[in-house]
Amino acid sequence: MTMLRRRSDADLRSAIDHAASFNEFPRQQGSSHADHCGLNDERSGEPQKRRNQLRLLPPSAWTWQGAQLDMVEGIMGRGMFVLLYGASGSSKTLIGVDLGMHIAHGHSWHGRQTKPGFVVYLAPEGGHSVHLRLLAWAQNHGINLADDLPFRTIPMRIDLCHADEDVEAIIANIQAASEKLGPCCLIEVDTVSRALAGGDENGPRDMGAFVTRCDRLREATGASVLATHHTPKDGNLPRGHGSLMNAADVRLHAERVADGLFSLELAHLKDGKAGDILTFQLETVVVGANDEGNEVKGALVMPGETKPVGQAGRPRAGTLNARQSSLMQTLHAECLSTKRWTISFAEFSNLAVKSGAIDVDHPSKRQRVSDLRQQLAAKGLIAVDGCAETVTYLNTDLFAQG
């Protein structure tokens, strides 16, 4: 049987020139027929480049480095698509800012090592308000910002849905800045809805176009793209068409736990272990004064001192009296049984009675429950949300069983 040998580009050029010796191909003096046919033409550069990108890789070229979760240890690596999502008020933007600034500085994030690199923050939703948050972060961390910091923002509306003009302009600017700041490792898009520029987030065409342009950003820069998105009013999954969620290598779910306390669940890691929960506390710092002399404050998040049940946390309970201990044991058993760590005030009151900590017929029952609630909150065992009228059980070494 005759074996067919794959021809290289050099073989192909030689064959074309050989065939041309039997034909009348008009050409300029000094040029080859391969030039005439377009194989050496600059205009064919893009198809040839794409062909090289789509080359077939043999086993000798296979590597595991591209799947490493080492940009943020155990969470994400380079060249990935990451989805950070949560309801309004879940501090997802502050968490994204915090993550990006830690990577730009090469600081560990929640005890996880980071690989420093150039970060770009696209802020079509918050606009210049992202600068207030960045300044607050720097002020709180005692960092003097300078232009050699590898962190850049684009606080302008962008369209990553309907045309390629914006994505190509962003790529060109990133590549130019990379000459001074080094390779870009993370591009944050805040938010998906605003970057769709009026596109239909529920439709496969527009959401698919957004994902495709995020892929273009990743492929052209080698960076990961982190897209910040909302959840539906009564849901815990990313809003809109499922193609967005399904495209994500990493999914991070932000939630408001209680007043000033937020959690981030590592909901999905394509090449890692999901399920860990990080907690954040909201803080504000003064960044300056306005023309009227009033203080201007910016918000940021810091690692939380307590964590929802099921995760390792700091023991803060101290010594409990008999009523407090009885109630906490009952609350612990209830939460582990139902897998619900946040309950209503009414449910908390019923558990206080069930545990024997409060007499159901006590004339000051309501006040005694309220006092118990505040005592346990002060010890860091529960978080109280007065607005939502809920109690969240927080983890300590005394009661957490995993």
Residuewise pLDDT in 10s, the chain (402 residues):
444 444 445 554 554 444 444 444 344 444 443 344 443 444 446 788 888 878 898 898 888 877 788 899 999 999 999 999 999 999 999 999 999 999 999 999 999 999 999 999 999 998 889 999 999 999 999 998 999 999 999 999 999 999 999 999 999 999 999 999 999 999 999 999 999 999 999 999 999 999 999 999 999 999 999 999 999 988 889 999 999 999 999 999 999 877 788 889 999 998 888 888 898 989 999 999 999 999 999 999 998 765 544 443 444 455 788 888 889 888 888 887 777 778 888 999 999 999 998 888 878 888 989 899 988 888 878 888 766 588 888 764 444 443
pLDDT at residue 321, rounded to an integer: 87
CB 306 within 8 A of CB 378: no
pLDDT, tens digit, 9 for 90 and up, residues 252-262:
999 987 778 88
- Report the amino acid identity of residue 294: N
Placement of tokens 């923002």 in the chain: 153
pLDDT at residue 314, rounded to an integer: 41
CB 79 within 8 A of CB 69: no
DSSP calls for 239-276: SS-HHHHHH-SEEEEEEEEETTEEEEEEEEETTS----
User: The tokens of 259 are what?
Assistant: 């007043």
pLDDT at residue 77, rounded to an integer: 94
Q: Which residue, 95, 153, 163, 102, is CA-closest to 125?
A: 153
Placement of tokens 């897209």 in the chain: 227
User: Which helix (H) or strand (E) is 331 found in, with range?
Assistant: helix 322-338
Q: How far is CA 306 from the centre of its chain?
A: 22
Q: What are the chain's domains?
A: 67-304 (3.40.50.300), 308-395 (1.10.10.10)
Name the DSSP letter for residue 3.
Answer: P
From residue 230, alpha-carbon distances to 58, 89, 168, 208 in Å are 41, 10, 26, 17
- Beta strand 81-86 pairing with 250-258: parallel
DSSP calls for 300-325: EEEE-SSEETTS----------HHHH
367/237 Cα distance (integer angstroms): 38
pLDDT at residue 265, rounded to an integer: 92
pLDDT at residue 363, rounded to an integer: 81
CB 74 within 8 A of CB 110: no
Mapping DSSP onto H, E and C, the string for 33-47 reads HHHHHCCCCHHHHHH
The half-sphere exposure of 64 on its side-chain side, counting CA atoms within 13 A, is 4
- Beta carbons within 10 angstroms of residue 186's beta carbon: 27
pLDDT at residue 45, rounded to an integer: 66
Radius of gyration of the chain from its Cα atoms, rounded to whole angstroms:
28
pLDDT at residue 85, rounded to an integer: 97
Name the DSSP letter for residue 146.
Answer: -
At residue 164, the 3 state secondary structure works out as coil
Burial 192-206 (b: 16+ CB within 10 A, else e): bbbbbbebebeeeeb
pLDDT at residue 228, rounded to an integer: 98
